[in-house]
A and B are shown apart, each in its own frame.
Chain A
Amino acid sequence: MISLSDAKEKWAGSISALTIGATAEGGGTRTSTVTVGGENSLPFMHYEGQTPHRPVIAMEVWDRQPDEWADPLMAALGDAVLSPADWARRCVEEWGADMILLKLMGTHPDLGGRTPDEAAGTVRDVLGAVGVPLIIWGSENDEKDNEVMPRCAQAAAGERCLMGIATEGNYKTLVAACQADGHCLINQSPIDINIAKQVNILVSEMGFPLDRVVMYETTGALGYGMEYVYSIQERSRVAALGGDKMMSLPIICMVGQEAWRVKEAKASAEEQPTWGNAQTRGVLWELATASALLQAGSDILVVRHPATAQALKRVISSLVA
């Protein structure tokens, strides 16, 4: 009887590991840190590689009350949305978030135009409210972010936060801020693997260490571009495992932001009576998107709904077991 040759892949490369958050030992005030990355084969192929650090869940907190979020989501969050510090606290203590992503939408010129100092104040409030590591995400208005993010980086100096986003057209200010205050960086690309690599090269050319960088290749919800994103993330992983150091970075996905925009998540039972339970539809949409992207190779999943966070935790546990 002929013996079959092993089907296991032998990869030359691996994803670099990155630690977010700093405890007192490291010069910060976090009570826990989060380490992501380190995989040396495609997701969850336990028979051929290791997942030394399981994918983690961050919950999204805004510095202003969201005014267009779906009803079921607002109902689940309740009063939390009135105070970023309370919101963050509940995410960690009640809903099990591994990290908080503070999105400074309130600083956007069209959404209130909060000042850099006000934003820095919110950063300090959230750092004071929770012990988990913090992701700080700007309003994505380049001009404003270039004023706000350096101030927030200073306010959080020593905490080794993850700060976003650096894009091909606007990266120097954020890179300098992260360099100066010891933070990690999120590089964004618009569902384009070539631009993803390019941004990594540009940032690296500034002398910023790649092992402090996470990639955000943009996220598409189920039914709204998820497969395209999936294929890009998967190609990035394959390149990394093949030895491409410029692609060997952990990946973050903005699942909640994308899933809760879609009509399948937002439509009421009256608007769409055949679409099933309006309370769970959005959660399922968010969970399905997250679960699929885990298979493509995702290290940080950012979700909005408490039930998604809890269910996703179980999904991840079953995949890494």
Chain B
Amino acid sequence: MFVIGERINGQFTDIGDAIAAKDPKPVQDMALRQLAAGSVALDINVGTRVPKEARGDVMEWLVKSVREVTDAPLAIDSPSLDTMRRGVALAARGGKTVINSTTAQEDKLGGFMALAKEFSAGIICLAIDENGVASTADAKTELGMRALAAAMEADVPIEDVYLDPIILPLNCDQKAPEIAMQTISQFRLLSDPAPHVVVGLSNVGQGSRERSLINRTFLAMAIASGLDASIHDPLDEELMNVVFTAELLMNKSIYSDSYLTASRPGR
């Protein structure tokens, strides 16, 4: 599974403090810890503690720091096309990048797809348009189709496209998880080969007391529905155990009694 580790985010105290102190070590340590826990890629998010005008510089600083210790794919997480461009351009020099993310609004899609094409980057496309978050499976799927069409037009290969159905917190909308799962299945039918499907997993358990249990249960169900990528906390061991186990149950890897040991690249 394409696990994108979410911990390098200025919202977290350790990273926020490191950004303020211009200390790369906590950032680099977190990068390596996430990879050792089974992340394939790393999300890089400046967070909102940093004032807007400084975010481009901080993004570049984060990318530079992480690239010093790994050439793993980096997901550049920013709503600003300018900050995105700066992060992607720098990250692409040392490895693969993923644009996190674009909505399906026509005026945004074009610009972000062109950026993806320019840097051979992956691109996450959200089921959101000018009307907001699409609420039904059909509406979400339509936005997914729009994203795919834009990718084709911009000559971005399907292997670089990640559709996100958008998952809302369970304690806000209990109908949402099932709709998300139906959308995931439908996304996978949109083309052959199918586009990747990703979720920002932490959203589903957000604000709930049992958030870890909720997150990992939803992850298992989503994988069964066709999810093949996820942005989450790889340091959550139980969560990663679910990833590895669900993959076996979907016959995506070969079972062995010590499969958990073998699944973690780091010790």
Contacts and interface: CB of A to CB of B under 8 A. Distances in A.
Interface in A138-170: none
A266 interface: no
B254 A239 contact: yes
A107 to B, nearest CB: 31
A61 B258 CA distance: 36
A247 B253 CA distance: 10
Interface string B247-267: 000000111111101100000
A244 interface: yes
B262 A246 contact: yes
Instruction: Please give me the 4 A-B residue pairs with the lowest Cβ-Cβ distance, nearest first.
Output: A197-B256, A198-B256, A201-B258, A201-B262
Contacts of A200: 256
Contact of B254 (A202, A204, A244): A244
Given A198-B256, A201-B256, A239-B253, 6 more contacts: A197-B254, A201-B261, A201-B262, A235-B254, A239-B254, A244-B254
Contacts of B262: 197, 201, 204, 246
Residue of A205, A235, A236 contacting most chain B CB atoms (<10 Å): A205
Instruction: Name A's interface SS.
Output: helix
Contacts of A202: 258
A246 B260 CA distance: 12
Interface residues of B, number: 9
Interface string A237-261: 0010000101100000000000000
A201 B263 CA distance: 10
B5 to A, nearest CB: 18
Contacts of A246: 254, 256, 262
18 contacts: A194-B255, A194-B256, A197-B256, A197-B259, A197-B262, A198-B257, A198-B258, A200-B256, A201-B256, A201-B258, A201-B261, A201-B262, A204-B262, A205-B261, A236-B254, A239-B253, A246-B262, A247-B254
Nearest to A205: B261
A193 B254 CA distance: 8
A235 B261 CA distance: 21
A195 interface: yes
A198 B257 CA distance: 6
A239 B262 CA distance: 14
Contacts of A195: 256
Contacts of A247: 254
Interface string A219-237: 0000000000000000110
B103 to A, nearest CB: 30
Contacts of A198: 256-258
A162 to B, nearest CB: 23
Interface string A183-225: 0000000000111111011101100000000000000000000
B257 A194 contact: yes
B259 to A, nearest CB: 8
A195 B253 CA distance: 14
A193 B262 CA distance: 15
A193 B257 CA distance: 11
A69 B123 CA distance: 64
A197 B261 CA distance: 12
A194 B256 CA distance: 5
A244 B256 contact: no
Contacts of A244: 253-254
Contacts of B257: 194, 198
A235 B255 CA distance: 12
